[in-house]
């Protein structure tokens, strides 16, 4: 599949924003490390909303006709794309009420504040899951049609969000060890699941071939003429090719920048973990996640390629 930067930025940015907001509410509800201050809650919440908004705006550039984007909201009963948009929009009022009541600091509205925060956390989880299911439900693309995809989206979004929350926690007097442990746990699970995913797509077992696509299974089938002399929409959008060596290099970068460097930094291998070092680690991790998302699209092979010369998908 053709990796469009607008979609890559959208999934990475909104995933980090939703993950940050969900973890922010949990940290607030459980008073992790003694509890974040009001300013820290507001800063983390605003960062989350900015990342989500930037991601949603970026996704508009992927639409052929952005003026018709509103039509996507009407298909929520059958489309994960529509559900993602609906849940993302419903998330904002609850998040704004939660942050607004946090800013006011009125004790009589504490129950309402926590209810709004809890709803925004649930909607953040559902939205990230819906984003993953947009790809996970497609049976025509073997590399995406697996529960590993929404699980990866959830873990990577929360891992990047936890890194951002750790940066905010380091700016105050709160005890950061609990925030650090959350980042480490999410990092380990996210890296393990990503490794399982790469192993799974590299060892597919039974796959669709040109024989199964045409129904001629007794001999080798070979396409003699594709019927066109130039690339078409199908070959350009669904037939993206990535060199094996290039893919291996990018996977090494994904694990180095996205997981290994953050792991070494969080264990103090580069000296004391200051907020400045954590910011650098977060930038490295986000670059690793951008490479991971580019590969996620580039390595996906739609079965339509079987009718344009591919022997297997």
Q: How confident is the model at residue 88 (pLDDT cuts 50, 70, 90)?
A: very high
Q: Is residue 81 part of a domain?
A: yes
- Average pLDDT of the residues of the chain: 91
Q: Is residue 156 part of a domain?
A: yes
Nearest partner of 168 among 51, 9, 313, judged by Cα: 51
CATH number at residue 13: 1.20.1630.10
- For the chain, the domain total comes to 1
pLDDT of residue 242: 81
Q: Is residue 312 part of a domain?
A: no
The per-residue pLDDT for range 237-274, each reduced to its tens digit, is: 887 888 778 889 999 999 999 999 999 999 887 778 88
**Residue 309 pLDDT > 80:** no
Q: Is residue 170 part of a domain?
A: yes
Task: Tell me how far apart the alpha carbons of residues 83 and 77 are, in angstroms, rounded to a whole number.
Answer: 8
DSSP 8-class letter at 260? I
Q: Taking the model in full, what pTM does it have?
A: 0.92
Q: Is residue 42 part of a domain?
A: yes
pLDDT of residue 45: 97
Cβ neighbors of 135 (< 8 A, separation 6 or more) are: 141, 144, 149, 296, 300
pLDDT of residue 154: 97
Task: Tell me how far apart the alpha carbons of residues 30 and 187 are, in angstroms, rounded to a whole number.
Answer: 21
The per-residue pLDDT for range 106-121, each reduced to its tens digit, is: 889 999 999 999 999 9
Q: Is residue 199 part of a domain?
A: yes
Q: Is residue 285 part of a domain?
A: yes
The separation between CA 303 and the C-alpha centre of its own chain, rounded to angstroms, equals: 24
Residues spanned by the domain of 125? 5-307
Q: Is residue 313 part of a domain?
A: no
SS3 302: strand
pLDDT of residue 76: 83
Q: Which stretches of the chain are assigned E, i.e. beta strand? A: none
Say if residues 159 and 187 touch (Cβ distance below 8 Å). Answer: yes
DSSP 8-class letter at 207? -
CB atoms within 10 A of CB 217: 9
Nearest partner of 85 among 46, 134, 119, judged by Cα: 134
| 138 vs 73, more confident | 138
Nearest partner of 182 among 27, 12, 15, 16, judged by Cα: 27
The separation between CA 252 and the C-alpha centre of its own chain, rounded to angstroms, equals: 19
């Amino acid at each position: 599949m053709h990796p469009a930067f607008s979609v890559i930025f959208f999934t990475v940015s909104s995933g980090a924003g939703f993950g940050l907001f969900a973890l922010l509410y949990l940290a607030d509800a459980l008073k992790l490390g003694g509890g974040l201050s009001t300013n820290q809650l507001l800063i983390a919440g605003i960062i989350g909303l900015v990342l989500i908004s930037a991601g949603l705006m970026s996704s508009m550039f992927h639409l052929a006709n952005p003026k018709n984007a509103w039509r996507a909201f009407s298909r929520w009963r059958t489309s994960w794309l529509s559900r993602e948009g609906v849940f993302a929009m419903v998330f904002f009022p609850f998040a704004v009420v939660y942050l607004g009541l946090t800013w006011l600091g009125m004790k009589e509205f504490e129950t309402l504040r926590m209810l709004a925060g809890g709803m925004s956390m649930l909607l953040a989880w559902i939205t990230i899951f819906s984003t993953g299911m947009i790809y996970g439900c497609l049976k025509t693309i073997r590399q995406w049609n697996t529960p590993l995809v929404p699980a990866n989206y959830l873990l990577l979004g929360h891992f990047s969000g936890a890194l951002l929350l750790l940066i905010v926690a380091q700016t105050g007097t709160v005890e950061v060890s609990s925030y650090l442990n959350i980042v480490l746990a999410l990092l380990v699970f996210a890296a393990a699941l990503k490794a399982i995913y790469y192993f799974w797509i590299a060892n597919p077992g039974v796959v669709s071939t040109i024989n199964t696509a045409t129904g001629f299974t007794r001999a080798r089938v070979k396409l003699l003429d594709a019927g066109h002399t130039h690339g078409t929409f199908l070959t350009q959008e669904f037939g993206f090719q990535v060199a094996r060596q290039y893919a291996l290099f990018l996977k090494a970068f994904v694990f180095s920048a996205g997981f290994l460097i953050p792991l070494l930094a969080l264990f103090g291998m580069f000296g004391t973990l200051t907020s400045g070092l954590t910011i650098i680690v977060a930038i490295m991790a986000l670059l690793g996640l951008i490479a991971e998302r580019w590969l996620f699209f580039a390595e996906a092979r739609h079965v339509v390629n079987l009718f344009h010369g591919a022997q297997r998908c």
